[in-house]
Amino acid sequence: MAKRYGAAKEQTALGRVLSMFAADADAARYDTDTGLAWGAFETAEGNDNAYRRSAKIRLLGFGPADLPAGAGSDLKMVKGNGGDSWLTIHGFRQGSVYSLYVQKPYVPEDDAEGVDYARLIADQLDSAVITPLAVNCAKSADGDGPDTQSTAFYSIKVDGGTIWMAGTVEEGGKYSGGNIILNFTREEPAQEMNACTGK
């Protein structure tokens, strides 16, 4: 069932990015209209026209938390905010952004009642209609085995149009911290949804 959300009192940086993405805005606007400090262009392997860029963002709805920093044997916990995240866009130099994702460190507070992806993203938007499409996946999105990442799919109607979101949890290990991943596309991930529901 679709549900209208509107938790943010005003449009956040992520909200602006999602509205621009839904409207297929020109890639240059991500520099001028989002208020984010984007990192350098990273060219995709095998395609000089494709790139990715990342920016730090802070998601609303979180408080102080111990966050993983570093990797491998250098991994340690540092004080921060549970909403401190990375936003990464994928696009073409001669065209628009074709996908984006948010990577948020997984903190103990996220596990209190399971990860509510819809509420997490709704807290960043001043207005949205969020419809759950497949939230109890039995199989992985590639259909090769059981789902172990709490995978769920939603459609989100924002200013600019409708986009699709896939939420997953990447578990941490001895030398890595876990992450919540929110992946956004303008095309419905029908194949992945069918695979995860066993259809």
Tens digits of per-residue pLDDT, 139-150? 776 667 787 888
Could you report the per-residue pLDDT of 24-77, keeping only the tens digit for each?
998 888 999 999 999 998 887 777 788 999 999 999 988 888 877 776 777 777
Asked if 159 contacts 25 with a C-beta cutoff of 8 angstroms, the reply is no
pLDDT at residue 177 in the model:
66
pLDDT at residue 112 in the model:
46
**For residue 22, what pLDDT band results from cuts at 50, 70 and 90?**
very high
Asked if 115 contacts 175 with a C-beta cutoff of 8 angstroms, the reply is no
Of 142, 156, 41, nearest in space to 92 by CA? 41
> Mean pLDDT, to the nearest integer, of 150-163?
93
b/e per residue, 19-41, with b = 16+ CB within 10 A?
bbbbbebebeebeeebebeeeee
User: Given a cut of 70, is residue 78 above it in pLDDT?
Assistant: yes
CA distance 52 to 31: 13
Which residue stretches of 23-134 are H helix?
A: 29-32, 117-122
Of 63, 42, 67, 37, nearest in space to 52 by CA? 42
**For residue 80, what pLDDT band results from cuts at 50, 70 and 90?**
confident
Assign residue 79 a region: left if phi > 0, alpha if psi is -120 to 50, beta otherwise? beta
Of 118, 120, 123, nearest in space to 6 by CA? 123
**For residue 161, what pLDDT band results from cuts at 50, 70 and 90?**
very high
**Amino acid in position 33:** D
Average pLDDT, the chain: 84
The two tokens of residue 199 are 């259809």
Record the pTM.
0.87
Of 119, 21, 102, nearest in space to 57 by CA? 102
**For residue 128, what pLDDT band results from cuts at 50, 70 and 90?**
confident
Could you report the per-residue pLDDT of 85-117, keeping only the tens digit for each?
999 999 987 778 999 999 998 876 666 456 889
DSSP 139: B
